[in-house]
Structure 1
Amino acid sequence: MKLDILAIGAHPDDVELSCAGTLIKETTKGKRVGVVDLTQGELGTRGNAETRTEEARQAAEIMGLAMRQNLKFRDGFFQNDEAHQLEIIKLIRKYQPEIVFCNAIHDRHIDHSKGSQLVGDACFLSGLRKIETIDDSKSQEVWRPKHVYHYIQWYDITPDVVVDISGYINQKVEAVKAYKTQFFDPTNKEPKTPISSQNFLDSVTYRARDLGRIIGVDHAEGFTVERYAAVDSIFDLI
């Protein structure tokens, strides 16, 4: 099953918070989009691996994903090493995405920057023919995505690319709210966290609105790039 976009996050909800609007927009247009979560978010203060798995399933339905998979790396302790890289290389070669989205290059949570580097390195290595991988007892063909984009998370990183998600913000917020254990709920008696406040939940919308303001639309999401994005004509830029 070839994908147009593969979005990868260190934890279930990373993708929803950061680039769900872009994913929903593309699935609505008929693109095949998948999500891979590196960990189950089992070290999170609120909820647990089981509740997070169910929440991720619900969010996947809202976003219209073609697939979602969890690699069950150790939350907080996965490394950017050969073993972890090979697992991601297998997925890249299996799904052959044209575009990969991954974590912010620098962020408050240590797993985000680790995940960013891990996925970026795996995307490069996936194109090397002398790295052999096997899936379902068959040798895989090499594949390197055309583009790797890093979404923006906690920190206000200046984007290189901004995507208009006007008309999709409500569906994005709905996908975020699927993670009932993680975000604002006045009835939840678990300890408060930096992401469980009303202000944080509101920030999903007001940060998208602010990026939209900059490019003259209602709502937008931003990404940074590892290499320049090229266009055939200057008129391809709007």
Structure 2
Amino acid sequence: MAKKTEPMRILALGAHPDDIEVGCGGTLIKYAETGHRIFLMVMTEGGQGGLPDMRKREQAQAAKILRAEKVFWGGYQDTEVPMGRDLIQTVEEIVKKIEPHFIFVHYHDDTHQDHRHLAMSTITATRYTKNVLFYEGPTTQNFAPTVFVDIEQALDRKIQSLEAHASQVRKTNIEGLSIADVVRSSAQFRGIQGRVKNAEGFLPLRLFINIGL
């Protein structure tokens, strides 16, 4: 008889509402569908991109689509996520509370300072976490993923989670393209690299491959 495994705890970190959905929403959906526990931490309420209360409501709706148990808020101002000890301790507190098996976060080479600062601080804050992977977003640079997750069956729900952020759907700074268009294009591109139809790509800080029971 096969040994029943306990659900894993998955923690995804993002600087702003909708960052997590863009970067690893499909992967989180697949984890949730197989019985694992999803937690989100969003560092700001995205006040530079819309009304904070509205963006928090949108994030709560998106979290339901991802089947996340809880959204933690960092309490920082949009564009002012600090680099250093304060942010490290903020992330450490949630890591200690959740004790995640996997952590997903922005990649550190990014033109947005909030993304960059969160990524760098998370490297320190997660030094005792076995599996830490970086995801990409529209402002990520020099990202060459080596880990891929097939999200073909989760892509439509990933798009739904992004559309829950209704105030942001058209804010891509690319004429004629919505965030759904951008995400579908990225999924196809990473899928080609991973030899599937649609995928999300990741760069691991650490990744353990477990063999046996």
Q: TM-score, normalised by structure 1?
A: 0.79
Where does the alignment leave 5 or more consecutive residues of structure 2 unmatched?
1-6
Deviation readout 1:23-46 (Å, 9 max, x if unpaired): 0001000000110001111122xx
Report the equivalent of 2:41. 36
Q: Distance in 2 between matches of 1:42 and 1:111?
A: 13
Q: Distance in 2 between matches of 1:215 and 1:87?
A: 34
- Aligned letter for 1:168? A
Report the equivalent of 1:207. 186
- Identity of paired residues, percent? 30
Q: Distance in 2 between matches of 1:62 and 1:151?
A: 19
Deviates more, 1:196-205 or 1:160-169: 196-205
Where does the alignment leave 5 or more consecutive residues of structure 1 unmatched?
125-143, 185-191, 234-238
Larger radius of gyration: 1
**Aligned 8 A contact 2:22 2:162 in 1:** yes
**Aligned 8 A contact 2:130 2:208 in 1:** no
1:64 pairs with one of 52, 64, 67: 67
Query: What is the SS of the residue equivalent to 1:176?
Result: helix
Query: What is the SS of the residue equivalent to 1:226?
Result: strand
Task: Give the direction of change, closer, same or farther, for the CA distance of 1:76–1:195 in structure 2 (3 Å limit).
Answer: farther
2:166 pairs with one of 164, 169, 180: 180
- Aligned letter for 1:108? T
- List structure 1 runs of 4+ shifted beyond 6 angstroms: none
**Aligned 8 A contact 1:3 1:96 in 2:** no
Q: TM-score, normalised by structure 2?
A: 0.88
**Aligned 8 A contact 1:183 1:196 in 2:** no
Cα offset for 1:77? 1.5
Question: Would you say 1:153 and 2:137 are equivalent positions?
Answer: yes
Deviation readout 1:129-173 (Å, 9 max, x if unpaired): xxxxxxxxxxxxxxx321110001124611021111111000000
Task: Give the direction of change, closer, same or farther, for the CA distance of 1:149–1:52 in structure 2 (3 Å limit).
Answer: same
**RMSD of aligned C-alpha atoms?**
2.0
Q: Distance in 2 between matches of 1:30 and 1:200?
A: 28
Cα offset for 1:83? 2.0
How many residue pairs get matched? 204
